[in-house]
Amino acid sequence: MSLCFFVSDLHGDISRYEKLFRKIEIEKPDAVFFGGDLLPSGLYAFSSSEDVPKDFFQEIIKDGFIRIKKKLKNNYPKVFIILGNDDSKADENLFIKGEEDHLWKYVHNKKVSFGEYTVYGYSFIPPSPFLMKDWEKYDVSRYVDPGCVPPEEGYHSFTIKKDDILYSTIKKDLEELAGEDNLSNAIFLFHSPPYKTHLDRAALDGKMVDYAPLDVHIGSIAVQRFIYAKQPLITLHGHVHESAEITGFWHDKIKNTYSFSAAHNGKELALVKFNPKEPENAIRELI
């Protein structure tokens, strides 16, 4: 049996990491998937907040995995990581270096093997109201929802050409990432949920901007269409913390694809457990 853990949107909460590490040591999963928004804030690299360790990445994330690897030895799981829109791209090199140290696979815009399965990763979300745009792109066109800020009008922690912002879309990226691959045994690790599903429902009921009602669904149209068209085996999502509470569901099914969210708006760790051979039996624990 292949046991997989999925977590997302830990947002630098030390207690969540501690709970996760204990679960990994006890249950020894074959794989652990991280769906982004892992660090204390998008300004983590430039922050001197007293609320978090001076070097959160090293002290909590990297050292935590080093301890687990020493303890579990041959039972150390495969670990797959992407970042989310609240993680600064300035910190991406930390996770790339962690891959070089054989602690995990950093899989944004990549595909890697996991036994008989292939894992794909993709971090970008559609334009949001937030000003940090490191992990935001136009979705299927240059349309921006009311209340949201276009990617070129926010800020980035790295240098990027304006044309690359204006003419790049999530839709194009996913087409290039998957190509003509058969995705029947693919596990896709996204930060954004698919549009108009149980997983992307935001608490925006009745809210308006300049007399325009806000869409209560804030997921990606490109991700939704991609899942419908390509039918990967499993897709994993985060980003919209309150969705499960509003809809009553942390999972959805798009045709034959099983989609799970580990985003959670409580203080608990939301831990999704699944077996790729039996995705219909996935469970979520709030710890």
For residue 235, give the nearest of 149, 174, 167, 168 by alpha carbon. Answer: 174
pLDDT tens by residue, 142-160: 999 999 999 999 999 999 9
Bridge partner list, 48:
none
For residue 233, give the nearest of 270, 191, 183, 195 by alpha carbon. Answer: 183
Residue showing tokens 């299927």: 140
**Predicted local distance difference test score (pLDDT) of residue 53:** 76
Q: What is the CA radius of gyration of the chain?
A: 18
The pTM of the whole model exceeds 0.85? yes
Sorted by sequence, the CB contacts under 8 Å of residue 96 that are 6+ apart come out as 106
Hey, is 35 helix, strand or coil? strand
Does residue 72 surpass a pLDDT of 60?
yes
The angle subtended at Cα 163 by Cα 177 and Cα 95, nearest 5°, is: 50
pLDDT tens by residue, 263-286: 999 999 999 999 999 999 999 999
Where residue 248 falls (left for φ over 0; alpha for ψ -120 to 50; beta otherwise) is left
CA 172 to chain centre: 19
Helices and strands in the chain: count of H runs, count of E runs: 8, 14
Identify the CATH homologous superfamily for domain 4-286.
Metallo-dependent phosphatases (3.60.21.10)
Q: How many CB atoms lie within 10 A of CB 116?
A: 9
pLDDT tens by residue, 43-53: 544 444 556 67
**Predicted local distance difference test score (pLDDT) of residue 50:** 59
